[in-house]
């Protein structure tokens, strides 16, 4: 799996987070690892088809998701990931993936994305372990967003 596949998602995530959350994330260490569902984590899963197929998954702890959603809503504090919170975090994944597909298109790589699916790992086991190219984004005062790309 090539690192070039994850770079558009990393670039897009940094830009979108800076715009909607008002923090400049730093990049953690990239690696290939077996991805498994973790308790109390939210995953935003987006499928990809076109020049390559697979999925991108944004993983974050529920407390981090609540902080992000609260920042997206102008400081309105959310204490639980309700329907409004899931919609907002889903839109964050959609914005990041949409921008990444535009970056890929500008590089001559055509990729279509599916609508995001928000998965709370405490209630769902539909994400099975897979090998992914992963890179964390570290958001000061908020937490970590793990970008995981699985392509074939």
Instruction: Give the residue extent of every domain in the chain.
Output: 3-151
Exposed/middle/buried for residue 1 (C-beta within 10 Å: 0-12, 13-18, 19+) = middle
* Residue 115: strand, helix, or coil: coil
pLDDT in tens, the chain (152 residues): 567 788 999 999 999 999 999 999 999 999 888 776 666 789 999 999 999 889 999 999 999 999 999 998 887 888 888 999 999 999 999 999 999 999 999 999 999 999 999 988 765 455 566 788 999 999 999 999 999 999 87
* Residue 88: strand, helix, or coil: helix
Residue with tokens 């597909």: 101
CATH topology of domain 3-151: Chemotaxis protein chec (3.40.1550)
Q: What is the pTM of this model?
A: 0.89
Residue 86 Cα distances to 7, 10, 50, 62, 77, angstroms: 26, 22, 27, 10, 14
* Residue 82: strand, helix, or coil: coil
User: Using CA atoms, how far apart are residues 95 and 55, in angstroms rounded to an integer?
Assistant: 15
């Amino acid at each position: 799996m090539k690192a070039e596949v994850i770079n558009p998602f990393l670039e897009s995530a940094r830009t979108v987070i800076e715009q909607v959350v008002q923090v400049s994330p730093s990049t953690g260490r990239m690696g290939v690892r077996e991805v498994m569902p973790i308790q109390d984590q939210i995953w935003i899963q987006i499928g990809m088809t076109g020049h390559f197929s697979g999925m991108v998954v944004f993983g974050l702890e529920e407390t981090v998701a609540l902080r992000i959603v609260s920042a997206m809503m102008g400081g309105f504090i959310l204490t639980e990931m309700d329907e409004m919170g899931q919609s907002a975090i889903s839109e964050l994944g959609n914005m990041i993936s949409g921008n990444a597909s535009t970056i890929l298109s500008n590089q001559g790589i055509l990729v279509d994305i599916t609508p995001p699916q928000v998965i709370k790992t405490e209630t769902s086991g539909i994400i099975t372990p897979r090998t992914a190219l992963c890179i964390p984004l570290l958001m000061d005062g908020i937490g970590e967003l793990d970008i995981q790309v699985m392509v074939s």
